[in-house]
Amino acid sequence: MLRPWKFSLRETIDPRRGVPIYLQIVHALIHDIRRGRLTPGAALPSTRELAEALGVNRKTVVLAYDDLIAQGWLSAHGTRGTFVSRQLPETLPATAPADRADDPLNPTEADFPFRATPDPTLVFPGENELTIDDGLPDPRLFPAETLARAYRSAAQRAERSGGLSYGDPRGSGDLRRSIAEMLGAHRGLVVGSDNLCITRGSQMGIFLAGRILLSPSDAVLVEGLGYSAARDAFAATGAEVIGARLDAEGLDVEDVERLCRHKRVRAVYVTPHHQFPTTVSLTPERRLRLLDLAARFRFAIIEDDYDHEFHFEGQPLLPMASYAHNRTIYVGSMSKLLLPGLRIGYVAAPEAVVRSMANLAASIDRQGNALTELAVAELITSGELRRHVRKARQVYLRRRDAFGKLLRREFADAIDFEVPHGGLAYWATFRDASRLDAIEKGAAERRIRLLPSLSFAASPHHGRGLRLGFASLDDAEAEQAITRIGGIGAPARCAATESDARRG
Amino acid sequence: MLRPWKFSLRETIDPRRGVPIYLQIVHALIHDIRRGRLTPGAALPSTRELAEALGVNRKTVVLAYDDLIAQGWLSAHGTRGTFVSRQLPETLPATAPADRADDPLNPTEADFPFRATPDPTLVFPGENELTIDDGLPDPRLFPAETLARAYRSAAQRAERSGGLSYGDPRGSGDLRRSIAEMLGAHRGLVVGSDNLCITRGSQMGIFLAGRILLSPSDAVLVEGLGYSAARDAFAATGAEVIGARLDAEGLDVEDVERLCRHKRVRAVYVTPHHQFPTTVSLTPERRLRLLDLAARFRFAIIEDDYDHEFHFEGQPLLPMASYAHNRTIYVGSMSKLLLPGLRIGYVAAPEAVVRSMANLAASIDRQGNALTELAVAELITSGELRRHVRKARQVYLRRRDAFGKLLRREFADAIDFEVPHGGLAYWATFRDASRLDAIEKGAAERRIRLLPSLSFAASPHHGRGLRLGFASLDDAEAEQAITRIGGIGAPARCAATESDARRG
């Protein structure tokens, strides 16, 4: 049986693959042993013979044989030659189910049970497609040079201090101190660095908060329309995730009270500053009532202040955490201020809560990226971040207004939306659901990516709409994106005039 | 009641604190309202009057009042003046439990129930202390300049491609491709980039593997002596974590088989290359038997290959994953190769498994640090990483041998250890437990940090010892560290001669 086997081997070997030839021989032989083509005790050709058959250097075959002997697949018997080991578990060949699945070179199938997790609702840029995200900043506005400089000096400081090994799971002391200063000076949130835990984006802050607050027998309230990834993180704890009513003044606290009477509510997740996705701001009265309910029903308020700085009209309200530290876990992020791709977020909470979250984080990813934490601390203390934010706010304000005009031009009165006072996205609802359906069906073929309108609702009756991020698209991109989706399912006449408009 | 109240206010205001004065006034007033010192309807002093009383600019007080009116705490009635709002929930003052806890300026206590998580067993450098870690590289060996350059070009590439916004939760395509090449060329592990998910260090790979493999009714087997953070991650799933026997040939597969007969074993976590903490290598025969058991009992093998490259004697065995992709989740990390502080790890597994792990990761932290992923890809493809590893291996080899001599000199035959063929740490067991106890008690006051000897055992009967990382300490530090702990609890005579030796 050596002859056919040697041919099959020759077919498997491909010098053009990135894999060293000797390893290809090793894998091919292991493969043939495991599928029973080569049986325990079978004699292998001499290294010279095989080298000739494969047209490779003899040294290569020697290397492969030595490796297989070391791994226990082959055994050498002095001058008698090399054989398939007799020590192999008899059942081994039998363990090969489908050839393909068992072929180490085609590792596509798993021969063990695992929990398949559904694809999350994410939208991120694809090849020659336009993405209308849910309100991300434009990373192109942040100068690579500034970033590179911050990392350079971080690397130098770290080299001196050996700071690139492991450290405090709460995150770099430098970064926690500078974030504490930032929160005190610009958000009225007075905390010390022991009240802060650095996280990998606000998502991780939400995930950790859920894990220390919730058990399967508990309930967590979220805004009826909200951030699906937050609901996913809470659902992972086994707790019941319930959407509370939402209106033009934000979360409906009456409904919160009603739910608290019927469920074991341990946490209320809220985006009071710029509600996600509807952009409304939770009124002062409701904030105080919510605090009142938190005191009466002893639940924690998870306050997600994901884009505090980008507020365009009027003075932003202080975060609830600034006057109720003891009832809130404040979740913040540098993703909007700086760059999402750096994954720097933080939670501000009572010391003991922070410690518990940090301990949990240690079992998830040990700690954050020490170099990035130093670099971001640098950007905050040097004032680079403030300068960037001031500049970016102007750009976003312009883009917001232009975007609103585009929406009116393309959709006329087919959609309802308010110009957001803050945040980086519009919330648009459709008078005629069939138009929305058409857009969601047609977007892909017009090479536009959008978050599904249903992905925001905690349950379908909370309604649907489109969250349209305006900040990450420059004028030309916004024009393109909106005209592309605007054209879809539009009444014939106005569609025509539109295309004329564009041609002219 | 205004007079005493104004005095209390004056005491709270402290210009030296980093917090803007107007915010301090805001907080102090909110504080006094919430604790009932100022009751709904109470009249506040005029801005001029209060400004004088506090010795601050009147504008500051105006700013504070405006803020409080916007927040709903105060209401202005034209010329009649400013009053505490009557709209406040009556119960609000009652919600203040202890003054301190409710004081927003002392956010130390939480007024909601949460799960306090125990401190994990971590060891990281402290102020003027020497840390004997569990086998970390020396971050000082990696030139800051090289790192800074990699980040710079990553930042530039990202700026062009907008690559610092969100992307594929499996991680940067560039990095996955270059890791796939690295694994194929240097570890005989042939995978495509669809078989890879980038994680935040190997810890996250272990955490994710546990979450997709285990349910509370399942069992996971670990090595009797092992990595406590891995056990923590598995325990977080609710599954039973069982330590299997371990000997000089690594994990005892007979014991694994026995446990599989009695428990619903869904995963076996193993460090076959350099067992953590004992440094032994799992023999080829046992690897094949373990694969055989995996096939028969349909469990997944979580193969943690945390420091593959640093192998000093003989040829490293191929990872089990290289010939059994379909039965393994291979967990790797750049922490030892490069820098722990960058938090770049990865899992190699069948495509569907990788996708599920990535989806899970998305709900934990959305994705990794895009800039770092680009920079590390750069370091791999440019060859900088290989150069660094070649250099570092020489240094570590020298340090390993010197460290062994130190151990002999200081402990003579009080401890048993083998010089490790690979990995960055020694494993030392003590003939006399009281000596070990003395060392662990005395280390702190000699300003030495060590992982507790009991932290390695899945359950106490698996024994104890010290895992002594030699790579991150230069010669002088190693000399200091070992002599400091060597002196503790040593028999009087030899302790004397030692100190002489050091004086001389």
Q: Which DSSP string corresponds to B247-289?
A: ETTEE-HHHHHHHHHHS-EEEEEE--SS-TTT-----HHHHHH
The per-residue pLDDT for range B42-57, each reduced to its tens digit, is 889 999 999 998 889 9
In a domain, A117, yes or no: no
Examine the pLDDT at B105 and tell me if it is beyond 70. Answer: no
Q: Which DSSP string corresponds to A383-440?
A: SHHHHHHHHHHHHHHHHHHHHHHHHHHHHGGGEE----SBSSEEEEEESSHHHHHHHH
* CA pair distance B29, B128, nearest whole angstrom: 43
Burial class (CB in 10 A: 0-12, 13-18, 19+), A70: middle
Element (H, E) at A244: strand A240-244
User: What is the pLDDT, as a whole number, of residue B258?
Assistant: 98
* Cβ contact, residue pair B91, A294, below 8 Å: no
User: What is the pLDDT, as a whole number, of residue B313?
Assistant: 85
In a domain, B121, yes or no: no
Regarding whether A164 and A136 lie in a shared domain, the answer is no
Angle between helices A21-34 and A2-12 (to 10 degrees): 130
The per-residue pLDDT for range A403-454, each reduced to its tens digit, is 999 999 999 999 999 999 999 999 999 999 999 999 999 999 999 999 999 9
Residue A333, helix vs strand vs coil: strand
User: What is the pLDDT, as a whole number, of residue B499?
Assistant: 47
Percent with pLDDT over 70 in chain A? 91
The residue count for chain A: 504
Among A67, A364, A376, A449, the residue to mutate for chain B (most B Cβ within 10 A) = A364
User: What is the pLDDT, as a whole number, of residue A272?
Assistant: 96
Nearest to B113 by CA among A240, A293, A294: A294
The per-residue pLDDT for range A5-49, each reduced to its tens digit, is 665 676 677 776 667 888 888 888 887 887 777 888 888 999 999
* Cβ contact, residue pair A342, B371, below 8 Å: yes
- pLDDT (average), residues A231-248: 96
Residues 6+ apart with CB under 8 A from B289: A89, B253
Residues of chain A contacting residue B184, judged by C-beta atoms under 8 Å apart: 18-19, 23
In a domain, B98, yes or no: yes
User: What is the pLDDT, as a whole number, of residue B184?
Assistant: 85
- pLDDT (average), residues A460-481: 96
User: What is the pLDDT, as a whole number, of residue A459?
Assistant: 93
- pLDDT (average), residues B258-264: 97
Name the more confident of A482 and A92. A482
Name the more confident of A103 and A282. A282
Examine the pLDDT at A470 and tell me if it is beyond 90. Answer: yes
Q: How confident is the model at residue A99 (pLDDT cuts 50, 70, 90)?
A: very low
Domain boundary among B356, B382, B408: B382
Q: How many interface pairs between A and B have CB atoms less than 8 angstroms apart?
A: 458
Q: How confident is the model at residue A97 (pLDDT cuts 50, 70, 90)?
A: very low
* Cβ contact, residue pair A291, B164, below 8 Å: no
- The total number of structural domains in chain A stands at 3
Name the more confident of A358 and A126. A358
Regarding whether A230 and A185 lie in a shared domain, the answer is yes
* CA pair distance B48, B45, nearest whole angstrom: 8
CATH number of the domain within which A84 lies: 1.10.10.10
Domain boundary among B357, B382, B407: B382
Residue B43, helix vs strand vs coil: strand
Residues of chain B contacting residue A281, judged by C-beta atoms under 8 Å apart: none
In a domain, A112, yes or no: no
Regarding whether A321 and A277 lie in a shared domain, the answer is yes
* CA pair distance A392, B140, nearest whole angstrom: 37
Residues of chain B contacting residue A117, judged by C-beta atoms under 8 Å apart: 212, 356-357, 359-360
User: What is the pLDDT, as a whole number, of residue A23?
Assistant: 84
* Cβ contact, residue pair B362, A291, below 8 Å: no
> B62 vs chain A: nearest CA distance in angstroms?
14
Regarding whether A189 and A78 lie in a shared domain, the answer is no
Reading the block at residue A28, the tokens are 């091919």
Examine the pLDDT at B268 and tell me if it is beyond 60. Answer: yes
> 3-state DSSP helix/strand/coil percent for chain A, to nearest 5?
50, 15, 35
Regarding whether B321 and B172 lie in a shared domain, the answer is yes
User: What is the pLDDT, as a whole number, of residue B20?
Assistant: 82
Q: Are B344 and B373 in contact (CB under 8 A)?
A: yes
Listed by number, the residues of chain A in 305-364 with a beta carbon closer than 8 Å to a beta carbon of chain B are 315, 317-318, 322-327, 339-343, 348-353, 355-357, 359-360, 362-364
The per-residue pLDDT for range B332-367, each reduced to its tens digit, is 999 988 889 899 999 999 999 999 999 999 999 999
The per-residue pLDDT for range A190-233, each reduced to its tens digit, is 889 999 999 999 999 999 999 999 999 999 999 999 999 999 99
Q: Are A259 and A224 in contact (CB under 8 A)?
A: no
Regarding whether A450 and A372 lie in a shared domain, the answer is no
* CA pair distance A184, A392, nearest whole angstrom: 22
**Which domain range does residue B162 map to?**
145-382
Percent with pLDDT over 70 in chain B? 91
Task: Say what the pTM is.
Answer: 0.87
Q: Are B141 and B148 in contact (CB under 8 A)?
A: no
Closest residue in A to B348 (Cα–Cα): A107
* CA pair distance B387, B153, nearest whole angstrom: 19
Q: Is B383 touching A (CB cutoff 8 A)?
A: no
The per-residue pLDDT for range B362-402, each reduced to its tens digit, is 999 999 999 999 999 999 999 999 999 999 999 999 999 99
Residues of chain B contacting residue A353, judged by C-beta atoms under 8 Å apart: 110, 114
Examine the pLDDT at B96 and tell me if it is beyond 60. Answer: no
Q: Is A294 touching B (CB cutoff 8 A)?
A: yes
Q: Are A380 and A154 in contact (CB under 8 A)?
A: no
Residues of chain B contacting residue A101, judged by C-beta atoms under 8 Å apart: 326
Regarding whether B281 and B243 lie in a shared domain, the answer is yes
In a domain, B122, yes or no: no
Regarding whether A165 and A76 lie in a shared domain, the answer is no
Regarding whether A231 and A349 lie in a shared domain, the answer is yes
Domain boundary among B358, B382, B406: B382
> A63 vs chain B: nearest CA distance in angstroms?
11
Residues of chain B contacting residue A361, judged by C-beta atoms under 8 Å apart: none
* CA pair distance A358, A364, nearest whole angstrom: 10
Residues of chain A contacting residue B260, judged by C-beta atoms under 8 Å apart: none
Examine the pLDDT at B162 and tell me if it is beyond 80. Answer: no
Reading the block at residue A443, the tokens are 């977007």
Per the prediction, chain A carries an average pLDDT of: 88
Which DSSP letter does residue A453 get? G
Residues of chain B contacting residue A152, judged by C-beta atoms under 8 Å apart: 144, 148, 151-152
Examine the pLDDT at B6 and tell me if it is beyond 70. Answer: no
Angle between helices A253-262 and A284-297 (to 10 degrees): 10
CB atoms within 10 A of CB A376: 28
- pLDDT (average), residues B292-320: 90
* Cβ contact, residue pair A107, B147, below 8 Å: no
- pLDDT (average), residues A241-268: 97
Per the prediction, chain B carries an average pLDDT of: 88
Q: Of the ranges A53-57, A277-281, B146-150, B472-476, which one carries the lowest mean pLDDT score? A: A53-57
Q: Are A184 and A191 in contact (CB under 8 A)?
A: yes
Reading the block at residue A130, the tokens are 């336009």
CA torsion through residues B28, A290, A357, A166, sign: negative
Q: How confident is the model at residue A108 (pLDDT cuts 50, 70, 90)?
A: low
* Cβ contact, residue pair A233, B363, below 8 Å: yes
Examine the pLDDT at A472 and tell me if it is beyond 50. Answer: yes
Strand pairing of A130-131 and A448-449? parallel
Regarding whether A153 and A135 lie in a shared domain, the answer is no
Distances (CA, A) of B331 to B10, B187, B301, B420, B474: 59, 13, 10, 22, 29
* Cβ contact, residue pair B117, A212, below 8 Å: yes
Backbone angles phi, psi at A129, to 5 degrees: -135, 160
Nearest by CB to B19, which of A112, A155, A184? A184
Q: How confident is the model at residue A100 (pLDDT cuts 50, 70, 90)?
A: very low
Examine the pLDDT at A101 and tell me if it is beyond 50. Answer: no
> A384 vs chain B: nearest CA distance in angstroms?
16
Q: How confident is the model at residue A96 (pLDDT cuts 50, 70, 90)?
A: very low
In a domain, B331, yes or no: yes
In a domain, A123, yes or no: no
In a domain, B345, yes or no: yes
* Cβ contact, residue pair A200, B200, below 8 Å: yes
Regarding whether A377 and A254 lie in a shared domain, the answer is yes
- pLDDT (average), residues B53-78: 89
User: What is the pLDDT, as a whole number, of residue B121?
Assistant: 79
User: What is the pLDDT, as a whole number, of residue A491?
Assistant: 74
CATH number of the domain within which A176 lies: 3.40.640.10
User: What is the pLDDT, as a whole number, of residue A6?
Assistant: 63
> B493 vs chain A: nearest CA distance in angstroms?
38
Regarding whether A176 and A68 lie in a shared domain, the answer is no
- pLDDT (average), residues B424-448: 95
The per-residue pLDDT for range A329-378, each reduced to its tens digit, is 999 999 988 889 899 999 999 999 999 999 999 999 999 999 999 999 99
